[in-house]
Amino acid sequence: MSRLFLVRHGPTHAKSMVGWSDLPADLSDTAALARLEAFLPTKAHIVSSDLSRAVETANAIQGDRNRLPHVFDLREMHFGDWELKTHTDVEDKEHMMAFWDTPGDIRPPKGESWNEVVARVDAAIDSLLQNADGHDLVIVCHFGVIVTQIQRALRLTPYEAFGHKISNLSVTVIDTASDWLTEHINHNP
């Protein structure tokens, strides 16, 4: 099995819930990108979600790594009617608070529940691992995607997993060969 190097895309500077909206990444911090690229294994395969903020970040740190096709199922959570809204913009505060305080089966209107995101991302990661031929995988993705794999590796509840900070351009490393051992969470090289 492989190690997962889960990289959060560059910042969008949005102050709202950004899921499937295709906002670009700010990649002006070239020093941070260079440090991140140097930290990642050189013989790894690199893949990203199909959203431009992840694709652009992957392009910036690809180096000589083998690029795999973008994966739709590595997208961030779909916030449905809450997309691009702030917490104060959402009218049904009780529904929104239940969504964040008891993540699981509760979903935003026309969006995804946490359990649906976990199932989607786990299947995508498992497929990538199955086809990696033992190579490490650099996966440029989103906060929610990374947190699903932290939850999986550490065997946390969704609420516990949500408590992790995942900074833009950080890397979380999980060794899948060692029973999903986390080597780094939110590491900023």
Distance CA 6, CA 26 (A): 18
CB 6 within 8 A of CB 62: no
Superfamily of domain covering 3-187: Phosphoglycerate mutase-like (3.40.50.1240)
Tens digit of each residue's pLDDT, the chain (189 residues): 589 999 999 999 999 989 999 999 999 999 999 999 999 999 999 999 999 999 999 999 999 999 999 999 999 999 999 999 999 999 999 999 999 999 899 999 999 999 999 999 999 999 999 999 889 999 999 999 999 999 999 999 999 998 999 999 999 999 998 889 999 999 999
* Tokens coding 105: 């089966």
Q: Give the residue extent of every domain in the chain.
A: 3-187
Measure the CA dihedral 88/90/94/98, to 10°: -100
Predicted TM-score (pTM) above 0.85: yes
Handedness of CA 132, 185, 168, 166 (dihedral sign): positive
Per-residue exposure over 162-184, b if at least 16 CB sit within 10 Å of its own CB, e if not: bebebebbbbbbbbbeeebeeee
